[in-house]
Structure 1
Amino acid sequence: MSKKHVRIGVAGPVGSGKTALIERLTRKMSEAYSICVVTNDVYTREDADFLTKNSCLPADRIMGVETGGCPHTAIREDASMNIEAVEELVERHPDTEIVFVESGGDNLSATFSPDLADVTIFVIDVAEGDKMPRKGGPGITKSDLLIINKTDLAPYVNADLDMMDRDTKRMRGERPYIFTNLMKLEGLDDVINWIKTYALLEKTEAHA
């Protein structure tokens, strides 16, 4: 079977907004694209259950993987369970254009095997402190797109968004990053445009 879908890996620490990002992306993109989702949890299928209840995707387009161990291993060193899940979903839905693969909550060193993800998105959040971007790690420095979520919480945790912006630019160089408040969908269209341009290789209004 020839591959015609793109696999987008979504990683980041626990609670940063990975599942919320995928839920909102699928709501805005599913009318135009055929989408499937693979989620990873250590002992449960909680994220898959959440997406089944809250996403607009049918249940048979969402598959939960119970890793039973380190979430990093399941997306990098031994990604076989996730690769099989992607293959099963694509076999079930041959028209699939996008497969989101959400990792379990992990640290800043999380990276996807190139056998599993074509492009990677790493999600951090402002509530973790404005020091997060300068901590570095492959998630911060090497992901194809970095999302800094929960900008609305900055005043409550004394986070300096301007400093986060400067630190992120210094750590990532030319690699793109986007500030978001997913609760209010702020920045979501920018993420979608990035997916269209850099993952699906389409021309968008912003990049035409």
Structure 2
Amino acid sequence: MKRRVAVLISGRGSNMTALIEAAKAEDFPAEIAVVVSNKAGAEGLARAQAAGIDTLVIESKSFGKDRAAFEAKLQSALDDNRIELICLGGFMRLFTAEFVQRWQGRMLNIHPSLLPSFRGLDPHGQALRAGVKISGATVHFVIPETDAGPIIIQGAVAIRDDDTAETLAARVLEIEHRIYPDALRLVASGGTRLDGDICKTSANASLDDSLISPSVI
């Protein structure tokens, strides 16, 4: 039985699209049951509808600072759709600790850096200013602390001397689209196990999966 997944978006939904495409495979252990946006004008809603996915808008602006009231309506929609897992895909709304704890180990997020480095806004600019040679993306379980939580999977790219935040973001986005479906596959198939703050997985890194930057000849 495939796990029922809700993808929460606020914008264009590029990672949502990657998840929808991956879930089309017959052997994929999850189905995207509904896409929920907190903004009526989110571009991703049209993308989801074009793919035949049910969509729902729960405008967060009307709730103001009352996050609990917004979450109560969201939870009701998740219950109605029999949702088992949540994937955040550019969802620009903070959750209360109570909501996060309710979905502990069942809510995933993706962040465009190699966490725990460069949390928060402008991670690509942070990486360039720090002068690191490798950056990437991280899929993790959500906890009350922002851009934290047990790491499920990471993907890396080399940083070039002429990179800008925009060029680096474009390459990292390609990695995001690769690793988010892989992370959902792992979680939905029971291939992850939480050991305190650490996520253990049934997948192992290949011995030749090394990235060294810069490459010195």
The TM-score bracket by the shorter chain reads: 0.5 to 0.7
SS of 2:111's equivalent in the other structure is: strand
Q: Structure 2 CA distance, aligned partners of 1:83 and 1:20?
A: 24
Residue of structure 1 equivalent to 2:75? 83
The higher-RCO structure (CA 8 Å, 6+ apart) is 1
Contact 2:36 2:57 in 1 (8 A): yes
Q: Structure 1 CA distance, aligned partners of 2:2 and 2:109?
A: 20
> Deviation per CA, 1:143-196, whole angstroms, max 9, x where unpaired?
6558799988981139999xxxxxxxxxxxxxxxxx9633xx334332222222
Residue of structure 2 equivalent to 1:190? 179
Q: Structure 2 CA distance, aligned partners of 1:71 and 1:26?
A: 31
Confirm whether residue 45 of structure 1 aligns to residue 40 of structure 2: yes
Contact 1:36 1:89 in 2 (8 A): yes
- Percent identity, aligned pairs only, is 10
Q: Quick one: which of 16, 19, 22 aligns to 1:25?
A: 19
Structure with higher strand content: 2
Contact 1:9 1:119 in 2 (8 A): no
Q: CA deviation at 1:139?
A: 2.0
Structure with higher helix content: 1
Q: CA deviation at 1:82?
A: 1.0
Q: Quick one: which of 57, 61, 79 aligns to 1:64?
A: 57
Q: Structure 1 CA distance, aligned partners of 2:25 and 2:44?
A: 16
Q: Quick one: which of 147, 158, 175 aligns to 1:140?
A: 147
Gapped runs of 5+ residues in structure 2? 113-121, 136-143, 193-200, 206-217
Residue of structure 2 equivalent to 1:115? 102
Contact 2:8 2:36 in 1 (8 A): no
Confirm whether residue 156 of structure 1 aligns to residue 164 of structure 2: yes
Q: Structure 2 CA distance, aligned partners of 1:191 and 1:200?
A: 14
Q: CA deviation at 1:45?
A: 1.4
Q: CA deviation at 1:81?
A: 1.0
Gapped runs of 5+ residues in structure 1? 91-95, 162-178
Contact 2:87 2:107 in 1 (8 A): no
Q: Structure 2 CA distance, aligned partners of 1:141 and 1:106?
A: 15
Residue of structure 2 equivalent to 1:181? 172
Q: Which has the larger radius of gyration?
A: 2
**Alpha-carbon spacing, 1:86–1:206, altered in 2? closer, same or farther (3 Å):** same
Q: CA deviation at 1:9?
A: 7.0
Q: Quick one: which of 2, 5, 26 aligns to 2:3?
A: 5
Q: Structure 2 CA distance, aligned partners of 1:146 and 1:72?
A: 33
Q: CA deviation at 1:88?
A: 2.4
